[in-house]
Amino acid sequence: MKKIKIAIDGYSSCGKSTIAKEIAKKLGYIYVDTGAMYRAATLFFIRKGVSAEDPNLKNYLSELHIEFKSINGEDLPIVHLNGENVENEIRSLAISNQVSYYSKNKDLRQKLVHEQQEIGKNGGVVLDGRDIGSVVFPDAELKLFMTASPEIRAQRRFDELRSKGDLVDFEAILENVKSRDLEDSTRKESPLIQVEDAIVLDNSHMNRDEQLEFVMGLVQKKLN
């Protein structure tokens, strides 16, 4: 059966990972959460005490090992940093506030982009992030660009963090969403852009089932 590459780009907290996981599960594809890779790298450098602007940052890259492993029979693997399950820690607001700065680093991006390309070179893969359709896999058969209003995205993130017991402030999350949008779309290295052949999915007023139906319809057209 034909296997394609599916590239999902878009703004933070617009549900890219959620829809990507569901598509991968339905198709039996590999799912790669590239945002989690940058979050794990951010945690790594924060623990090392290395700032995003440190010119020596590249000297630590050989110590950075990110893997996706399944645990407790989970269908989809979760991110591990140097063998440690960091799935919960990398989703914190503290990491969200820093990840865009580390993601601008050219050497870090080159390392992670290469790893992503190796994982998905044979197709049968779903990747979500900021530069999948533009840099990682410009030859992807299906490219999506997901978006939603900043307020709706902030509310979703607020609800997610509160459900985990985190005491967070909505206005702080909204400010984080807006600042990340700016950082992601204006950075020098692989900025977030909507490539010409990407299909826009504005899910401001769509539920998960509606989004999944929309995307799977696009997938079937590519597979036929």
| Average pLDDT of adjacent 10-residue blocks, the chain of 224 residues | 93 92 92 93 98 96 92 76 95 92 94 94 93 96 97 94 90 94 90 95 95 96 91
Tell me how far apart the alpha carbons of residues 205 and 142 are, in angstroms, rounded to a whole number: 23
Q: Which domains does the chain have, with CATH numbers?
A: 5-223 (3.40.50.300)
Helix (H, G, I), strand (E, B) or coil at 79: strand
| Residue 155, token pair as written in the block | 């509310």
CB of 82 closer than 8 Å to CB of 44: yes
Per-residue model confidence as pLDDT tens digits over 107-163: 999 999 999 999 999 999 999 999 999 999 999 999 999 999 999 999 999 998 899
Question: For 219, phi and psi rounded to 5 degrees?
Answer: -60, -45
Tell me how far apart the alpha carbons of residues 20 and 219 are, in angstroms, rounded to a whole number: 12
pLDDT of residue 74: 65
- Rounded to 5°, the CA angle 123-27-214 comes to 105
